[in-house]
Structure 1
Amino acid sequence: MRKPHGDLASIQPMSVVGLPSATLKANQAYDTLRREIVSCRLLPGTRFTETQLMERFALGKASCRIALQRLTQDGFVASMPRHGYRVAPVTVKDVDEIFALRTELEPLAARGAAGRVNRGQLERLEQACRRRIDVDVGNQIDFFLEANRSFHMAIAVASGNQRLCRALSGLLDEMTRLVALGFGVQGVRPNIENDHAAMIEHLVAGDAESAAQVARRHVETFRAMTLEKVIASLRDTAVIGPAAPVQADGSAR
């Protein structure tokens, strides 16, 4: 490749999709901070400042500020004038609302996907959900969440309902934070038993009603498990959560 010359040498680098470098850095900062919050490596209620985040994640001031503005708009953090920011808390109401919607949408997706799924794809994802990898519990949960999300989204996609896909995608993203808080803080891995396998059989057979029934039962069972763990984690972290500034290792002071 020829070296740039003249005025070309002063042009700012662009990303592969044509985004200016500053925009790309802001997007990367947003993705990094959102991932930390959703995975509960930044616990609900944790307080922090721009400077602390910039130092911990090697972020530029402008990128960090834009990322925090977006996270505030998304409801993940709240601005506290002259006192920095606070990670949005998780409440029992959050668990109830998210799972109440999933209880309605998952059976709807299963009905629409009956007879239209790719068995091989679902079986690979189901096996990934149950796989035990030789890493710490936190990373095991991250692996489970990604595989579990992919399993449920594959069913939603097979239903052919794009609006349903978008709605369920958002709910599964929100659920990630609940599971990370409940199971991650408690140091245990979710156990989904055989619900996924049963769903696959009904979906492949084209039995829409049976698939919907299993989907509903699965969500209701998982809700009870998650609620129990979230309540335990909220109790365990209540002392440090509301006012704990973030440290370089993610712990609270």
Structure 2
Amino acid sequence: MPDNTPDSPADDTRLVPPPLAPAASAASATSAASEMTATATPPSATDGRSLTERAYDAIKHDIITLRLRPGETLNEAQLMQSTGLGRTPVHQAMHRLSLEGWVVILPRKGAMVAPVSLNDALEIIDVRMINETYCAALAARAATPDDLAAIEAVLARSQAAIAARDVAAMMRIDRDFHLAISRASRNQTLAELLRGLHERSLRFWFLALSTPSHLEGVYEEHLELFEALAAHDAERARQAIARHIEEFRTHILKAI
């Protein structure tokens, strides 16, 4: 599904640092970028997924990007129209979304988008701070040239997203960037934990980081972290990601 993000001011002309030169082969970087892009956006009708999976991804995408607002009542007929899918896949998708905490089912009243809570956001950030700083240190020690190429391939997508003021695209880049670092840590359990935390952070990301200056700031923080990883400097990587997460906390406190 293509990105449909809120319009952002078009008069911000601040310059963004250019992406770094590839750290490994172009083929490996392109392959990694394609893999992550495929999982970052709602699937199309021809991607081989089931109707239920397509409904789930489309509705979840609209929740994350705030097209469906926190606390908004959900109507299956309207969701059928917006997704272009039938009642059964939409109903099954709603059930899955409720199990994952994206939707609240109200007995005899229907369903609504789960509200957002400042306390929930801060708890997620605290858990990320503990686990993701450790993950970054592991990745700095263990990252191979292919890992660095995959991470840098994600970073290279930032320029187009920033130029277009595309908040949803930059949000997915942020997620993919962190997932690539998790893979480089060589700790599968930790990577799975962080994947769940990042998924839960996505709505807060969209709430807090929706201005052009924030998009550029995120890119600069990513670049600082990548340079630490490329230098295999575990302590520098730990500090860089701690600052990145702390900036997220600061913006969340202002937004909610």
- TM-score under structure 1 length normalisation: 0.73
Of 41, 48, 60, which residue of structure 1 is paired with 2:67?
41
* Residue of structure 2 equivalent to 1:145: 171
The 5-angstrom pairing of residues 1-253 of structure 1 reads 24-117=50-143, 118-133=147-162, 135=164, 137=165, 140-184=166-210, 189-190=214-215, 191-192=217-218, 194-229=220-255, 231=256
Most deviating of 141-150 and 187-196: 187-196
Question: What amino acid is aligned across from residue 145 of structure 1 in structure 2?
Answer: M
Question: What amino acid is aligned across from residue 155 of structure 2 in structure 1?
Answer: E
Residue 133 of structure 1: how far off its partner (Å): 4.8
| Alpha-carbon separation, structure 1, partners of 2:248 and 2:231 | 24
Structure 1 unmatched runs, 5+? 1-14, 232-253
Larger Rg: 1
Cα RMSD of the aligned pairs, angstroms, is 2.4
Give the secondary structure class of the aligned counterpart of 1:89: coil
How many residues align? The count is 207
Give the secondary structure class of the aligned counterpart of 1:40: coil
| Alpha-carbon separation, structure 2, partners of 1:162 and 1:45 | 35
Question: What amino acid is aligned across from residue 219 of structure 1 in structure 2?
Answer: I
| CA distances 1:41-74 after superposition (whole Å, capped 9, x unpaired) | 1010101222222233232111111111111111
Kept after mapping to 1: 8 A contact 2:73/2:111: yes
Most deviating of 148-157 and 115-124: 115-124
Question: What amino acid is aligned across from residue 149 of structure 1 in structure 2?
Answer: R
Deviating 4+ runs (over 6 angstroms): none
- TM-score under structure 2 length normalisation: 0.73
Residue 227 of structure 1: how far off its partner (Å): 2.8
| Alpha-carbon separation, structure 1, partners of 2:226 and 2:175 | 15
Give the secondary structure class of the aligned counterpart of 2:142: coil
Structure 2 unmatched runs, 5+? 1-45
Residue 107 of structure 1: how far off its partner (Å): 0.9
Kept after mapping to 2: 8 A contact 1:45/1:89: yes
| Alpha-carbon separation, structure 2, partners of 1:101 and 1:57 | 34
Residue identity over aligned pairs, in percent, reads: 32
Residue 93 of structure 1: how far off its partner (Å): 0.8
Give the secondary structure class of the aligned counterpart of 1:79: strand
| CA distances 1:87-122 after superposition (whole Å, capped 9, x unpaired) | 000010121011111101111111111143333333
Q: CA 1:33/1:187 → structure 2, altered by over 3 Å: closer, same or farther?
A: farther
Most deviating of 198-207 and 25-34: 198-207
Q: CA 1:179/1:16 → structure 2, altered by over 3 Å: closer, same or farther?
A: closer
Kept after mapping to 2: 8 A contact 1:102/1:168: yes
Kept after mapping to 1: 8 A contact 2:162/2:212: no
Most deviating of 160-169 and 144-153: 144-153
| Alpha-carbon separation, structure 2, partners of 1:151 and 1:217 | 16
Kept after mapping to 2: 8 A contact 1:129/1:148: no
| Alpha-carbon separation, structure 2, partners of 1:182 and 1:218 | 13
